C-alpha cells in the first residue's frame, strides 16, 4: 500500500460495517486522532468477514499515514461487539469440503486479519469497550496499547461454549496480558463476567462508570498520546515488550543498540526540549522509524549477531 492511496479524509471512506471519524468530528481533513466505530448496531456490532476486511484495510492505511498519531476503537450503540454473527454462522464440514477437500493449510481466521494489522501498526490504539464484548469482540482488542472499559460491560471468552477455540492470536496475547492462570480460567469456563471482575483486572487499564465516560476517557488518552509522545518511541517499546528476546541479557544488548541509535535523534532532541517548553510537534516519522528498524524485532535481533 502506497502513500498515494491515503484519503483526504477517513470520514468519507465508503465503509459499510465500520464508521470512521476525526477529532474534532467536523474536521474536513485527517486529524491526529482517528476514531473507528464498529457499526452494525442493529446486530449489536456482530462480527462478519466484511467488517474484518475493512478494519484490516484502514489499519494498514494508518500505519503509513504520518497525519495519524493515535486511534480510538469503540462500538456504535450500547454494545462493543457481541462476537461472531451467529445468523451468518460458521463454515460447515460439508461447505468446507466443497471449497477445498485438501487440508486448509492456507486458512487464516478473520480475527487474525485485524489483530495482525493492529499489532503491526506503528500507531497506538486505545480501545473504549463501551458495552458487551464476547468472543472475537474481546480478542480483537488484545493487540491494542490500552483498553478502558465500562464497569458493567459483559466480557466473555466464550469459545468453549461454542465448540471453538481462541482465534486471532489470542492464545499468544491473552496470557501475556493477564497471566496463564487467569487466561486459563476465562477460556476453560467460557463464562461471562463484568469488566470490573477481578479475573479481568489486568486486562483493562481503567474501569469507567458509564459508556459515555469510557469513550471520553479513551479520546483523552489518545489525544495525550498524539500530542505528547514520539511514534517511534512508542512503537519500538511495544515491539520490545511483545517481541523481545528470551533473556534479560539479550534484551539488554538489543535495547542498548536501539537507544544508542535514538540518542540525538530529532525526537530525542525535541522531546528533551519539550520538557521545558512545549509538546512534541508533528513530524514525518515514518522514514525515521524505517531507518531504526521498521518495527520488526525479528530484524532488530540481527543487531545481536
Per residue in 95-121, pLDDT (tens digit) is 555 656 555 678 899 999 999 999 999
How confident is the model at residue 284, as a pLDDT?
A: 45
Compare 305 and 189 and report the one with higher pLDDT. Answer: 189
Question: What are the backbone dihedrals phi and psi of residue 262, each rounded to the nearest 5 degrees, phi first?
Answer: -85, -20
Compare 40 and 2 and report the one with higher pLDDT. Answer: 40
Domains along the chain with CATH numbers? 3-227 (3.90.226.10), 230-304 (no CATH)
How confident is the model at residue 296, as a pLDDT?
A: 47
DSSP character string of the chain = --GGG--S-GGGS--SSEEEEESSTT-SS--SEEEEEE--GGGTT-B-HHHHHHHHHHHHHHHH-TT--EEEEEESTT-SB-SB-TTT----HHHHHHH-SS--TT---HHHHHHHHHHH-SSEEEEEE-S-EETHHHHTTTTSSEEEEETT-EEE--GGGTT----TTHHHHHHHHH-HHHHHHHHHH--EEETTSGGGTTT-SEEESSHHHHHHHHHHHHHHHHHHS-HHHHHHHHHHHHH--SSHHHHHHHHHHHHHHHTT-HHHHHHHHHHHS-PPPP---HHHHHHHTTT-HHHHGGGG-
Q: Does residue 41 carry a pLDDT above 90?
A: yes
How confident is the model at residue 290, as a pLDDT?
A: 52
How confident is the model at residue 93, as a pLDDT?
A: 46
pTM confidence score: 0.88
Alpha-carbon dihedral of residues 220, 224, 225, 228, nearest 10 degrees? Answer: 170
Q: Does residue 283 carry a pLDDT above 70?
A: no
Q: Does residue 305 carry a pLDDT above 80?
A: no
How confident is the model at residue 143, as a pLDDT?
A: 98
pLDDT tens-digit profile of 220-253? 999 999 999 999 999 999 999 999 888 999 999 9
pLDDT tens-digit profile of 156-202? 999 999 999 999 999 999 999 999 999 999 999 999 999 999 999 99
Confidence of residue 4 (pLDDT cuts 50, 70, 90): confident
Beta strands 146-150 and 206-208: pairing type?
A: parallel
Compare 294 and 60 and report the one with higher pLDDT. Answer: 60
pLDDT tens-digit profile of 109-153? 999 999 999 999 999 999 999 999 999 999 999 999 999 999 999
Question: What are the backbone dihedrals phi and psi of residue 83, each rounded to the nearest 5 degrees, phi first?
Answer: 110, -160
Q: Does residue 303 carry a pLDDT above 50?
A: no
Average model confidence (pLDDT) across the chain: 89
Compare 98 and 254 and report the one with higher pLDDT. Answer: 254
Confidence of residue 295 (pLDDT cuts 50, 70, 90): very low
pLDDT tens-digit profile of 78-88? 999 999 998 88
Mean pLDDT of 35-61: 97
> CB-based contacts of 274: which residues, under 8 Å, 6+ apart?
228, 280
Amino acid at each position: 500500500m502506497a502513500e498515494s492511496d491515503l484519503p483526504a479524509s477517513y470520514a468519507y471512506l465508503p465503509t459499510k460495517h465500520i464508521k470512521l471519524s476525526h477529532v474534532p468530528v467536523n474536521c474536513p481533513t485527517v486529524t491526529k486522532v482517528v476514531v473507528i466505530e464498529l457499526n452494525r448496531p442493529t446486530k449489536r456490532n456482530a462480527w462478519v468477514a466484511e467488517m474484518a476486511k475493512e478494519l484490516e484495510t484502514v489499519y494498514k492505511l494508518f500505519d503509513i499515514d504520518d497525519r495519524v498519531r493515535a486511534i480510538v476503537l469503540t462500538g456504535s450503540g450500547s454494545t462493543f461487539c457481541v462476537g461472531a454473527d451467529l445468523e451468518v454462522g460458521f463454515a460447515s464440514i460439508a461447505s468446507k469440503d466443497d471449497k477445498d477437500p485438501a487440508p486448509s493449510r492456507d486458512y487464516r481466521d478473520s480475527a487474525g486479519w485485524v489483530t495482525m494489522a493492529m499489532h503491526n501498526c506503528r500507531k497506538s490504539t486505545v480501545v473504549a469497550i463501551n458495552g458487551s464484548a464476547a468472543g472475537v469482540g474481546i480478542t480483537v482488542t488484545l493487540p491494542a496499547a490500552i483498553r478502558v472499559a465500562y464497569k458493567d460491560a459483559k466480557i466473555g471468552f466464550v469459545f468453549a461454549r461454542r465448540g471453538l477455540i481462541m482465534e486471532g492470536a489470542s492464545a499468544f496475547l491473552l496470557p501475556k496480558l493477564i497471566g496463564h492462570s487467569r487466561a486459563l480460567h476465562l477460556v476453560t469456563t467460557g463464562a461471562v463476567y463484568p469488566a470490573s471482575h477481578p479475573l479481568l483486572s489486568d486486562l483493562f487499564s481503567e474501569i469507567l462508570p458509564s459508556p459515555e465516560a469510557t469513550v471520553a476517557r479513551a479520546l483523552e488518552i489518545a489525544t495525550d498520546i498524539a500530542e505528547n509522545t514520539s511514534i517511534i518511541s512508542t512503537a519500538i517499546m511495544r515491539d520490545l515488550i511483545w517481541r523481545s528476546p528470551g533473556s534479560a541479557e539479550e534484551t539488554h544488548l538489543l535495547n542498548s543498540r536501539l537507544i544508542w541509535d535514538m540518542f540525538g535523534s530529532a525526537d530525542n532532541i525535541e522531546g528533551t526540549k519539550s520538557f521545558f517548553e512545549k509538546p512534541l510537534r508533528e513530524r514525518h516519522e515514518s522514514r525515521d522509524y524505517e531507518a531504526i528498524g521498521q518495527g520488526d524485532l525479528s530484524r532488530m535481533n540481527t543487531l545481536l549477531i
